[in-house]
Amino acid sequence: MIEKLKNLGWKQFGGLVLIVIIIIAFGFGGFGGGFSTNNQNNIAKINKTNVTTQDFMDYVNQSGISADAIRNNLDNNIIEELLSGLISTTLIDLEVKDFNISINERTILKTIKENKNFQDESGVFQRIKYEKFLLSNNMSAQMFELKLKNRELQKHLFDFIGAGTITPNFLIDKKFEENNKTLEIEYFDMENLYKNKENYNQADIQKFIDENRDQLKREYIDFKYVILNPKNLIGVDEFNQDFFNEIDKIENNISQGNTFNSLVENLEIDIIEVNEFSPDGDEQQNENLIFSKRSAKIDLIESGDNFLLYNIEKEYNKAPDLNDEKINSEIRELVYQKGKFDFNRKIIEEIQDKKFDNTKFNELVGYDREYGSINSVNDNKLFETNSVKMLFALPINSFALVNNSENKVYLVKITGSNINLFNKEDEDYKNFAKNEFTNTRKSLLAAYDQLLTSKYQVQLNQKTIERVKNYFK
């Protein structure tokens, strides 16, 4: 939401994530009378409701955030973040009024008296504890009770929105059964069907290169660099101020456009020249670092206990050199992986088109199939979690390609299923039922959040926001 609040002026923004933002907290303290303004310019507008700068200042006062903290975080969008919270709270207040939700004073007093912070060891309300609390937080009883009332009203709103969201027991039972049934399967390691890597010849590799020439091009650079440290720069082993002064001079000279040669001409340091460099996984720490960190033709970067002053002379892309044994091996691996991918894709397409049946399954796997069971949707001993979830969503006699935790691919046939008996007093069932209720409620509140976004048009006055920022500078 903060990003949407930036640089908007009198613009509309949407996508308010209110459910996440609305965290009701008692932010006591504040800045006292010195933190206030009579400037009633609107900082925001929600439909026809104006949010004034005074509203914002009051909200900040109640947040408990110090003026210094705000001042130090102006560049971190703290004003936008606070405004986001105020707008969210205001929206909820408007919803409370729209639903005509109310709380009587007796309910508020009951809530206060039941607060353990205001009770003695016997659980009896102590007025003196309540008064001390108000004094220590610089609050009047009226202010505190108003905050408490607003919090309770907001709580009632969300209870109202979430009313009737309890998932029926029969649906919980059905979902629990589905998630905890046992699947009987036959499965086969697809690795046994793939063409061996060694069986791909040079013609296969060349064909792959011709078809993917642009994608296979690698980035190369030609460059030279020197290694700088206290020993070779100022003649000592210590990282002292003299050394860093020299580093500062070099950085200043770079910024002034000095050439690499002029930077190193007075230094008795070996210049390392590197041509046609592209990272290949070898232990070339300095070269790899320059390749990855380069942002300018000439620059100075840190490398462990050293500094590297480099000059990029040329950057280019070129096709792989097949005479390089390592590159040849890498491309052979790519050809092998593409072969596996194409083989798997053909089977998946046949399954999706309902052209893959028992006959084809038996032709492929022969007698090399394995037999097993998956005891629940959370049983990932054979296959990884997402694959198991997919299998549980399929009917009996279905086929699928799935992965295990090591990303090996298996062809699976679901041959049967059994419902596992369960007791509603089991902890697994109780936790499942609790999560179902929580997920249902979350879905409803997310839908309500989207409704608020479309229901309320929020506009911001960027000029006023900037004046508020200037107030803290």
- DSSP readout, 359-385? HHHHHHHTT--EEEEE-STT--SSS-H
Read off the pLDDT of residues 114-164 as tens digits, 9 standing for 90 and up: 888 888 888 888 888 888 888 887 777 877 877 787 777 777 777 766 655
Question: What's the mean pLDDT in 276-286?
Answer: 77
Q: How high is the pLDDT of residue 25?
A: 31
Q: Is the pLDDT of residue 2 over 70?
A: no
Average pLDDT, the chain: 81
Which of the four pLDDT bands, split at 50, 70 and 90, describes residue 359?
A: very high
Q: What is the C-alpha separation between 326 and 323, in angstroms, rounded?
A: 9
Q: Decide: 4 and 453 in contact? Cβ < 8 Å.
A: no
Q: What is the C-alpha separation between 233 and 273, in angstroms, rounded?
A: 19
**342 vs 31, 34, 267, 335, CA distance in Å?**
67, 72, 57, 10
Q: What is the C-alpha separation between 242 and 246, in angstroms, rounded?
A: 6
Q: Is the pLDDT of residue 283 over 80?
A: no
Question: What's the mean pLDDT in 391-417?
Answer: 93
Q: How high is the pLDDT of residue 215?
A: 81
Q: Is the pLDDT of residue 34 over 60?
A: no
Q: What is the C-alpha separation between 254 and 257, in angstroms, rounded?
A: 5
Residues 6+ apart with CB under 8 A from 417: 181, 182, 183, 184, 396
Read off the pLDDT of residues 69-82 as tens digits, 9 standing for 90 and up: 888 888 888 888 88
Taking phi over 0 as left and psi of -120 to 50 as alpha, with beta for the rest, 7 belongs to left
The DSSP letter of residue 195 is P
Q: Is 105 exposed, middle or buried (0-12, 13-18, 19+ CB in 10 A)?
A: exposed
Instruction: Could you please state the CATH topology (level 3) that the domain comprising 218-318 is classified under.
Output: Chitinase A; domain 3 (3.10.50)
Q: Is the pLDDT of residue 39 over 50?
A: no
- Amino acid in position 178: E
Cα distance from N-terminal residue to C-terminal residue, the chain: 24
Q: What is the C-alpha separation between 250 and 240, in angstroms, rounded?
A: 16
Q: Decide: 287 and 277 in contact? Cβ < 8 Å.
A: yes
Question: What's the mean pLDDT in 85-110?
Answer: 82
Question: What's the mean pLDDT in 282-307?
Answer: 85
Q: How high is the pLDDT of residue 130?
A: 85
Instruction: Could you please state the CATH topology (level 3) that the domain comprising 182-198+327-418 is classified under.
Output: Chitinase A; domain 3 (3.10.50)
List the structure tokens of 217: 């091009």
Q: How high is the pLDDT of residue 4?
A: 36
Q: Is the pLDDT of residue 391 over 90?
A: yes
User: Phi, psi at residue 188, to the nearest 5°?
Assistant: -145, 135
Task: Give the global pTM.
Answer: 0.45
Please choose, from the candidates 429, 437, 442, the residue with its C-alpha nearest in 3D space to the C-alpha of residue 176.
Answer: 429
Q: How high is the pLDDT of residue 402?
A: 95
Q: Decide: 325 and 149 in contact? Cβ < 8 Å.
A: no
User: Hey, where are the domains in the chain?
Assistant: 2-163+448-472, 182-198+327-418, 218-318
Which of the four pLDDT bands, split at 50, 70 and 90, describes residue 468?
A: confident
Q: Is the pLDDT of residue 24 over 70?
A: no
Judged by DSSP in three states, 438 sits in helix
Q: Is the pLDDT of residue 259 over 90?
A: yes
For residue 219, list its beta bridge partners. 317
Higher pLDDT, 24 or 290: 290
Q: Is the pLDDT of residue 109 over 60?
A: yes
Q: What is the C-alpha separation between 395 and 295, in angstroms, rounded?
A: 55
Q: How high is the pLDDT of residue 166?
A: 57
Q: Is the pLDDT of residue 379 over 60?
A: yes
Q: How high is the pLDDT of residue 23?
A: 32
Question: What's the mean pLDDT in 96-102?
Answer: 81
Q: How high is the pLDDT of residue 169?
A: 67
Report the share of the chain in percent with pLDDT over 90: 25
Q: What is the C-alpha separation between 132 and 171, in angstroms, rounded?
A: 51
List the structure tokens of 257: 């456009």
Q: 140-149, 388-397, 401-410: which range is least confident on average?
A: 140-149
**218-318 has the same fold as 182-198+327-418:** yes
**For 143-151, which contacts have Cβ atoms below 8 Å and span 24 or more sequence positions?**
145/108, 145/112, 147/26, 147/62, 148/108, 148/111, 148/112, 149/103, 149/108, 150/24, 150/93, 151/24
